[in-house]
Amino acid sequence: MVVGNLRHAQVTIDERAIFNNVAAEKQRLPKETDLFAVVKADGYGHGMVPVAQAAKKAGANGFCVALLDEALGLRQALLTEPILVLGITDPEYSNIAASMDISLAVGSREWLIQAKAVLAQTVPLRPLAVHLAVDSGMGRIGFTDLSEFLRAVHYIQTNSEYFDFEGVFTHFATADSEETAYFKQQSAKFNSFVAALDDRPRYVHVSNSATSLWHEACNGNMIRFGVALYGLNPSGDALKLPYTLQPALSLTSEIVFCKEIHAGDCVGYGATYTAKTDEWVGTVPIGYADGWLRRLQGFYVLVDGVRCEIVGRICMDQFMIRLPKAYPMGTKVTLVGEDGGQTIRLQDVADYSQTIHYELACILTNRLPRNYIKI
């Protein structure tokens, strides 16, 4: 996608916030517990490599991604720390992972058998590091049967020239909820799998951001610090944070056109907004092609510290706002962030659009340039 560098609309990422969020979490962790920064999905839309570099400066011990391609991107950026691919990778590419010292998640013994056949063709310089996933109740990937899990462990141990049993992990479905019954059920199942091991691997980990923030007793010896890395509360507003997170992302643009309309005039596709009186309307050059959702009609942005309602439907490349007065072309518009003592959180946008802040951060397209405030 072409980046809109010649348009005044941009995402700004404050690397200092990333640094401070990691540093604050590291202070809470026992010294023997590692923090892996989760930088998948282009760093949740914040930029994978800059986020990883900032997290590393703050003390992150490694990184988690979803795709092998993302892991290779970190290696290409000369990041040498441990990297774990959390999603299932086709065993066809297991030799690539081994050659680049990238760890892979494994959810079945069959995967190991297929990967061994690939690895045997080249005999990698180092065994492929694997983390066995336990499906304790997420219903996504991993072993559900203890006997099958132990068979996979045995297969790894008897093929040590090809595999290194580096980790075992699970993922909780409700760690960000006030209700803890299902969380405890999942935790008990995972613990039963770990207890059946004769020897624990290097990493035993269960904690995403929510688990580490509110169930730190479960952390194991590694946490996967994800959405909190970016300064966002994993629960939305459902649970109070144990410390203050600093949001790293802001989204700003400008007024490119301002006009006065009159009572009875309509704005936007479908004529869904009709002016009740004479009023000033400004146009902002961002739309749903940039990830600013069409359903945000009726929400607001900040102009000169004043909340200005979005009127009419969001277009592909533009949207309109009702202004308290005429403003000159080039006046700053804040869609996410602080202006004049007022703040729009990504959570506020999520609440209005009936989704979660994770999704909104990830769908801000690459047409919006990312600008970075360096540490």
Domain boundaries, the chain: 15-230, 249-344
**pLDDT tens-place string over residues 218-275:** 899 999 999 999 999 999 999 999 999 999 999 999 999 999 999 999 999 999 999 9
Residue 87 has pLDDT above 80, yes or no: yes
Which of the residues 184, 243, 269, 374 is marked catalytic?
269
**pLDDT tens-place string over residues 177-204:** 999 999 999 999 999 999 999 999 999 9
CB 68 within 8 A of CB 102: yes
Q: Which pLDDT belongs to residue 255?
A: 98
Range with lowest mean pLDDT among 17-21, 119-123, 163-167: 119-123
Q: Which pLDDT belongs to residue 358?
A: 96
Residue 209 has pLDDT above 90, yes or no: yes
Q: Which pLDDT belongs to residue 1?
A: 85
What are the residues whose beta carbons fall under 8 Å from the beta carbon of 339, sequence distance 6 or more? 302, 303, 304, 305, 332
What is the dotted CATH code of the domain comprising 15-230? 3.20.20.10
Question: Angle at CA 178, nearest 5°, toward 177 and 183?
Answer: 60
Looking at the chain, the whole-number percentage of residues with pLDDT higher than 90 is 97
Which of the residues 40, 162, 203, 288 is marked catalytic?
40
Give the chain's count of helices (H) and strands (E): 11, 20
308 phi, psi to nearest 5 deg: -120, 120
269 given a catalytic annotation:
yes
3-class secondary structure, 87:
strand
Q: Which pLDDT belongs to residue 202?
A: 97
Count CB atoms within 10 A of the CB of residue 278: 10
Residue 134 has pLDDT above 90, yes or no: yes
Q: Indicate the CATH number of 249-344 among 2.160.10.10, 1.10.3720.10, 2.40.37.10, 2.30.30.100.
A: 2.40.37.10
**pLDDT tens-place string over residues 306-352:** 999 999 999 999 999 999 999 999 999 999 999 999 999 999 999 99
Q: Which pLDDT belongs to residue 334?
A: 98
CB 137 within 8 A of CB 182: yes
Confidence of residue 96 (pLDDT cuts 50, 70, 90): very high
DSSP string, 198-213: SS--SEEE-B-HHHHH
Buried b (16+ CB within 10 A) or exposed e, 343-356: ebbbbebbebbeeb
Confidence of residue 125 (pLDDT cuts 50, 70, 90): confident
Looking at the chain, the whole-number percentage of residues with pLDDT higher than 70 is 99
3-class secondary structure, 122:
helix
For 284, half-sphere exposure in the C-beta direction (CA atoms, 13 angstrom radius) is 32
Q: Which pLDDT belongs to residue 352?
A: 98
Rounded Cα distance, 133 and 106, in Å: 6
Question: Angle at CA 237, nearest 5°, toward 234 and 239?
Answer: 70
**Annotation-wise, does 140 bind a ligand?**
yes
Q: How many residues comprise the chain?
A: 375
Residue 124 has pLDDT above 80, yes or no: no
CB 39 within 8 A of CB 74: yes
**pLDDT tens-place string over residues 18-69:** 999 999 999 999 999 999 999 999 999 999 999 999 999 999 999 999 999 9
Q: Which pLDDT belongs to residue 122?
A: 83
